[in-house]
Amino acid sequence: MAWYAYCITEKQAFPELLRHRKPIPFESVSGIAGNQVFLYPASDLAVIVSEHSPDDTQHERAALEHARVIADCFRTSTVLPFRFGTVFSDDESLRRSVRSNQRQFLTNIERLRGKAEMHLKVVLDDCCREQVRAYPYSTGRSETGREYLAQLRENATLQRERQTKARAVSVQMHRMFSPLAEEITCRRMDTGKMLLDIAHLIEHKSVERYQNKYSSALQLMKDCQMQLSGPWPPYHFVHRLTTRHHHTHHAPSHAMPA
């Protein structure tokens, strides 16, 4: 039987597992396509799974349902999320993977116990938008080598200016929120603005304080558009596995929730 995997947690978080060596139904949670979710004991860990059919992950809400199961488990225990689409081909494949990576799983759980992820989206004006109009990446005409090199230099300068502005904003955010850890990406949007995606790892008990800091940041940073979501399971802060035993097995994910 193939198992679809949502996340890993500690077996001790579910006392009912202490009396069982086989998967038991997780009655309060339903999985992708409404499938029954099971607690699968594996050494000191529990894998949250449901029986897998290839069609289950094809419908449009499957990824959201995957995230919902992880969020439901996160309410009561520390979890290590798996990437959407993670499947173990059979019981042996699941057990072998947990056995091989148990030390890393337990280390991650200990490191992330009592912590949550907050997600900030910060939209700011592109400091180089006017220059980009003046120096497009493609002029639509034949260029001499000298003009081409000049354009490359100009584009590199503009990119450095963007990076400098994005770095300044991210440093300001770090000072405001003082997270335990952070992951930041920056990209230029089709609208010409820049989007900073910021994931902050914080103590779960500090969520309300973090939200208050966000309210203050909205007042201070008038030139930015900001959006906050969370608390989430620590998607961005789960270390990827280095050992894989089956082609259908994917490492725990840091895919970002919407």
Kindly report, residue by residue over 210-226, the tens digit of the pLDDT: 999 999 999 888 778 99
Does 123 share its domain with 74? no
Return the higher-pLDDT residue of 95 and 240: 95
In a domain, residue 241? The reply is no
Number of domains in the chain: 2
Q: Is residue 245 part of a domain?
A: no
Do 107 and 125 fall into the same domain?
no
**Burial of 89 from C-beta contacts in 10 A (0-12 / 13-18 / 19+):** middle
> Could you list the residue range(s) of the whole structural domain that residue 37 is in?
3-113
Residue pointed to by tokens 């994917």: 250
Of residues 133 and 94, more confidently modeled:
94
pLDDT in tens, 92-122: 999 999 999 999 999 999 999 999 999 999 9
Say what the pLDDT of residue 143 is.
56
Say if 210 falls within a structural domain: yes
Look at residue 180 and tell me if it is in a domain. yes
Are 87 and 2 contacting, i.e. CB atoms less than 8 angstroms apart? yes
Are 99 and 125 part of one and the same domain? no
* Whether this model's pTM surpasses 0.85: no
* The residue type at 8: I
Q: Does 144 fall in a domain? A: no
CATH code for the domain in which residue 199 is found: 3.30.70.260
